[in-house]
Every structure is written in C-alpha cells, then in structure tokens.
Structure 1
Amino acid sequence: MNDEGRSAAIAVPSTPERSANERAILNMLRQDGPTPAAEIARRMGLSAQSASVITRKLEAEGLVLRGSPVRGKIGKPSTPIQLDPAGAFAIGLRIGRRRSDLILIDLEGRVLGQKTATYAYPTPASCLDLARAGLAEFKQMLSADQHERIAGIGIGMPFDLWNWLDLLGAPRAEMQAWHDFPAQDAFAEATGLPAFVGNDGSLACHGEHLFGGARHLPDFGYIFVGAFLGGGIVLDGRLYLGAGGNAGALASLPVPGADGRMTQMLEVASIHQLERRLEARMPGNGQRLLQQPAWAGFDDLEATWIEETARQLASATVTLVAVLDLPSVVIDGSFPAEVRQKLIARVETLVAQVDTRGIRRPQIVSGTLGITACALGAGYRPIVARYLVE
C-alpha cells in the first residue's frame, strides 16, 4: 500500500446519515447492555417522548429489541431495550505474515463464522480471493434480507509490507505488488461492500478495547507480539490513529541489537525471531512448533526469547507512559495463554526495576483475544461507521 493508499486507509467510505441521538443510544446499549427506556431518556438528556420516538424507530429498523417487562418494588414494570444481534453484520479480515483470518460478526461483535488461509507469504491476489470466497460462504449462513444488513468489510494489515522482505521470505516482485495496491478500492470492488483499511496493530487494539480485557479502560497503550510487533493507543475512550493512521508503531522503535548497533525493536522482539532460532536448530519445523496449542520441545529457546522480548516490552511500556501519560499498557500476542502469562509476569518485574521518577508506573494488563483481536477490530469498524459513535 503506497502513501496514497495509506491516506485512504485512515479515511472511511461515506455512510448513511444517522442522527447523533440514534448513534448515542445504540452506543450506550452496546456498552451497557439492556437498558429501560426511562433510563435511556435520563442518561441521554432527552424527554421520555423523544427517547420513545427514537427507540421505536430503531426497533422498526430491526436494530433493537424490547425485552420482557421487569417489575420493580414500586411503579410500573420497566421494559429493557437491547441491541438486536441480527440488526447488522460485518466482515473482518486480518492479513498476517503466514496466515489471514476472515470472520463474520453480528451487531454485538459475536463471531458467527471464520475462514482461514495459510501461505508462505501474503499477496494481494490471495487476500482478495479469501475475501471473495469467505463472503460467499458467510452469505449462505444469512437470509437474503440479512445480506442487506452487512455493513462492510474491515481489513487490518501491516503497512509497507514491501519493506519487510527479510521477515516475509518473499520474492521482491511479489511484495512490490503491495506498494501500488489500492487496498480500500480493491476490497470494495471484490466484495461489493464498503471497505475500511487500517493498520493491524491499531485494529487489534480496537478489538481488545471493544471486546477484550481493555473494555473498561479509557486510556491505554497496546502491544501485540506476533510475527511482527505491533501496537495501538486509546485516548479518552477512542482509538487514536495519528496523522498517518500508524500511531503505536512500536516495531520501528530504535533499540540496541545484540552487537550493540541500533536496530528496530521488531528485530529483537517478535515471534519471527524465535522462529528463526527454531529453524536453525530443527530445519523445516519452526512454524509447526509455534502453532502448537501449548509450546513444547524448545523450553530453553522459549525462556531466552521471553527474557529478551520482555526487556524490550518493558522499555516500550515506559516509553509509552513517558510520552502519553498512560495509566495502563495491555500486552497480548499470537502465542498460548501460558506464554502470555510468563511474558507479562517478566515485563511487570522489569518495569518495577526501572527508574520511573517523573512518571507514574503503569498497570500491566493481559490481553484476552490473541490473534482474533485484529479481525474483530477491523470487522467492527464498518458497524461503528454506520451505526455508532466513533
């Protein structure tokens, strides 16, 4: 994706107009669950009549449902109003180094279907094929009327893929195809849906904020350790993208390498580095070993990798806090839960040893979504754009 494509990646397609009050009510129901009409009116600062008119309109459009009346100690029973999960759907695509994941989600963010493609390295053609084939399969799960409720497709991908030839192990000509690839337009044309393209780290952060362990954190930094190293930032409850859509690009932070020369953090803190060492010891088995539900058979390499990666993440954590005054940093990755626990425990120990005079030592929070976070965050972008508050 070239600079032109990156600009498109932080813009969003035009979406149908929806009033601010409608969006605010839908947003509240998404965050807080079933809520009585009187409480909606109170919290939105609306009259009971105005709130009733809006909720009945949303109900008629199939976006909300009325639950069973709940009788309190006094007064009339209250009827809770909640999102209708089938009120909207969206497609989320995560493009990774070795695999891509496509999911179908509903208005509440529940995953209804998933399709995965593995490859030696990603190409625009293979990713477009996955989107087309997956959409066709997902539509078979929905009624014809529900097809019209698919809000769009969101795509999370590393920016500047052509610059990572050494990590991808791909021919230069194949990766150069990404340089001139108009991602937003290409996916829109391939699927017939509005397309929203963003950085994979930022969208994983978005997914964790909406549906994971960071759901109730208004301000935090996010670090995701995968084949690449990614990150994201949430400020005042909103995903912060930066001027170029690439805020939180921790992979590019300059750090000392093993030889003392400056390199990028990606080169010393990513699963790709562990895969390299596994391949050197057991050629042809690195990827297989790392795809185990529980890592086994390379305890010494795992321990060394956790120590080295934890030191880099501790440094990145303190940097995020020093620059943005963040109270929390969420850490996750595409590894087993046990590995995540070990890594976070070591990061916490190392951060506690850092001289943090002048800043507040942050809370380290465990992510909960793993590799699903990016596809979820990407998929929910079209729903947010059409129905909710950014």
Structure 2
Amino acid sequence: MPQVTMPEAKFSNNERLVLALLRREGPKSRAEIAAATGLSAQSATNISRQLIDLGLIGEGEAIRGRVGQPSTPLSLAGDGAFFLGLKVGRRLVELALVDFTGTIRMHRQEVHPHPDPDRVAGFARNAIASFIDALPPEQRGRIAGLGIASPFQLWDWGAEMAGWRGRDLRSELAAGLPFPVWLENDGTCACAAELTFGRRDLPDDFLYIYIAHFAGGGLVLDGKLRFGPHRNAGAIGSMPAPMGGQVLDHASVLQLEGMIGTHLPPDNAGWTAPPETERHWARQAGEAMAWAAVTSAALADLGAVVIDGALPPRTRDLLVEETRAAITRLPAAGLDPLPVLTGSLGRAARTLGAAALPLSHVFLPDGALSLPHPLAQAAQIADNRQHVSGS
C-alpha cells in the first residue's frame, strides 16, 4: 500500500462520487459505477485505477459465467483511511478509531460523574496517542482527522459544569495534532452517523431523534444534513411539548432516571429500568416526540422520522412503537402518513458521527454529509462545474 498523508490529500468530486457510491451501495463493477454515476466508462475506469493505486478501494474476485468479459467488483478498503471520533457525554467520554468502511478498530472510554474539561482533554490526548502508536507506521499518515461530538453550552448543565465556559476543546486538541479537528453538536453527529454508516433505505428528507441523557437530533433535507446558522438544527429537545415544558422534559434518559430514582449505567448490560415504569416513560416520551415529528413534517414535508438513542434495543423499539401510536392520535388533515423508522447504530451513533466529520470533509461529494443519490445528477453537476471553470 502506498504511503499517503490523508490530511494533505485532495480528491476530485468525481472520485468522491465513486467512493460515496461504494460506501452507500457496496461492491460495484466498473460498468456499474459508470451507470450509477453518469460517468463515462473510460472515466470510471481511470478513477477506479487511481483509487486502487491510492489504497482506497480494492478488487474482489472476478465474476464469470455472464455474457461478455468477467466483471470485477470494487469495494472500499478498510485500511484506506482512518478517522478519530471523540464523544463528550454527560457521564461518559469515549474515543474510537474508525476505518474506511465504518468499522470501529479501537475504542476507549472513561466514566465520570460529569465531564470536566481538563479531564476530557487529557483523556483525548492520551487515547489518541495510544491509538496512533498502535497503528503500523505506514498507516499513521492515513488518519484524516478528528471529529468531536459534544453538546453545546455545557456550562448550562449546572454549577459543576461552569469550567466549560470559555473553553474551546476543538482548538485545544488541534494545537497538538498533525491533522485537522472538527466539532459539531452531538445530536447532529448521531444523525450524521446514520447517514454515513447506517440504514440504506433513508428518504431524502427526514427528522432524526436521538434519546440520551437529553433529547437531541438532526434534520436532513434534500439528502443533506442541515446544520443551521448556529450549528444546532434539529434541536428536538428544545421544542415545546403539548403537555407543557419542552420535549427534553418528557423524552430523555434523565426523565426515566427520575421516575425510577436511580442512575442508569452507560451500557446495555446494566440497564435495570422496571418494565412498567419504562413503558409509562416511553408512552409519555412518544407523545412528545410524535408532536415534534408531525409539526416538523408539516413544516418541511418530511418522508420519515428516525428514532435512535443511547438505549438498549428493546427500549428503543418501545419508543418507536409508542411514537407510532401517538402519531395516529394527532390531527393530521392535509399531511401524508409519516413513517417512523428505527435507527441502526444505538449507543455508537455519536462516536461514529464524530468520525464521520473528517470523513465527509475529505471523501464525500462537496465535503457534505449527505445521501449520495441521485449520483448521475451529481456527477453531471460536477462535470458542468469543471467545464465552466475550465472555459
């Protein structure tokens, strides 16, 4: 595999289109790549050869027995690039090294009573150094960057969090690293993970709700994750709830902990919520989320709402069930039915979404977190841009 320094690598939009196609749809032959992207057969072949030479994609075994020449499927190479994802949570900070296919190669976490900024920064520096040392020397330059998923305005969580005011975790970590660092809201990052590594049947327009200590989420319109001028689009927890207060007052792990009178651990194995209490909480949360989902759908003509969370799968499924039921009880004249889909990444979503930040900037078309279809249209746009810039 050739030596490549990912932070310095530049890829054309057509190269990014091919990589996005293979990421979204899996192995494809060169002919299938050309058909799906709208690229010419020669362009698809040339781009594929370049990406193979760079170690970003690999060739599978030739498929024989069909009419014409055997076709060779191409797919992403796991060792082609690596991404670091740091998640700052209310009781847990974690770091993952994610490979080019979205597989977590290394993971480290630390439980804390609350996220102290010095302790979080120290954890991140030590874990990053450990991960880099664990990689073979020839692969260390393939780390494209670090993404950070963090709630905004941490200092509003209580007096013990006041130390976060005025701190810039992104800049502090970037000062000691040889690659770029990005930071976005943790709910937005969870949505980014679903877009990049999750379900393959997502519509172009959907609301994403993520239930953790608080409720958060993201908004995807026209296939692209929206950030907003304050980088806080999809702040579901802050929406008013029909039963009073905000959605986060009814749909959050914090609310469930208040009902059972104890903290729940940050893992599925130790989840001990009594079933009857959990059902009552899910019904209440479902009412609040249904209101937020239908209101958003009325405004933006959404194709679905996706629900996930830092929850055991059965608890997440219960939330989906109760939200579906609550939607049927809401007045919806003039609106199309709103499907409620189950997210696929659970507790890993925010960490994977953090890793998706450098991935998107380096490898996705236009550097945007988006669904890569319709690829043929996107390829035509890219060709037009190149033609105009060269004329």
Q: Which bracket does the TM-score occupy, shorter chain normalised?
A: 0.7 to 0.9
Post-superposition shift, 1:302? 2.0
Post-superposition shift, 1:215? 5.1
Provide closer, same or farther for how the CA distance between residues 45 and 331 of structure 1 changes in structure 2, counting only shifts above 3 A: closer
TM-score calculated relative to the size of structure 2: 0.86
2:386 corresponding residue in structure 1: none
2:147 corresponding residue in structure 1: 154
2:179 corresponding residue in structure 1: 193
Range that drifts further, 130-139 or 199-208? 130-139
* Aligned-partner SS, 1:112: strand
Range that drifts further, 76-85 or 215-224? 215-224
Provide closer, same or farther for how the CA distance between residues 192 and 313 of structure 1 changes in structure 2, counting only shifts above 3 A: same
Q: How many residues align?
A: 360
Q: Structure 1, residues 159-211: CA drift from partner, whole Å, max 9, x if none?
A: 1111121xxxx52xxx2332212232122124332111001001101111222
Give matches, 1:174-213, under 5 Å.
175-213=161-199
Q: Which amino acid aligns with 1:148?
A: G
Q: Pick one of 347, 357, 364 that aligns with 1:371.
A: 347
Distance 1:215 1:194 in 2: 31
* Aligned-partner SS, 1:254: coil
Q: Pick one of 345, 348, 351 that aligns with 2:327.
A: 351
Is residue 24 of structure 1 aligned with residue 17 of structure 2? Answer: yes
2:221 corresponding residue in structure 1: 235
Give matches, 1:126-145, under 5 Å.
126-145=119-138
Q: Structure 1, residues 216-246: CA drift from partner, whole Å, max 9, x if none?
A: 3322101111101101011222211112211
Q: Percent identity?
A: 37
Is residue 263 of structure 1 aligned with residue 245 of structure 2? Answer: yes
Q: Which amino acid aligns with 2:55?
A: G
1:282 corresponding residue in structure 2: none
Superposition RMSD in Å: 2.0
Give matches, 1:1-390, under 5 Å.
16-165=9-158, 170-171=159-160, 175-213=161-199, 216-255=202-241, 262-279=244-261, 285-288=262-265, 291=267, 293=269, 295-296=271-272, 298-389=274-365, 390=368
TM-score calculated relative to the size of structure 1: 0.87
Q: Which amino acid aligns with 2:146?
A: I
Q: Structure 1, residues 222-277: CA drift from partner, whole Å, max 9, x if none?
A: 111110110101122221111221100011112356xxxx5332223211122233
- The answer to whether the Cα contact below 8 Å between 1:208 and 1:214 also exists between their aligned partners in 2 is no
Provide closer, same or farther for how the CA distance between residues 40 and 304 of structure 1 changes in structure 2, counting only shifts above 3 A: closer
Q: Which amino acid aligns with 1:134?
A: A
| Ranges in structure 2 where 5+ consecutive residues have no aligned partner | 1-6, 369-391
Distance 1:198 1:268 in 2: 24
Provide closer, same or farther for how the CA distance between residues 18 and 164 of structure 1 changes in structure 2, counting only shifts above 3 A: same
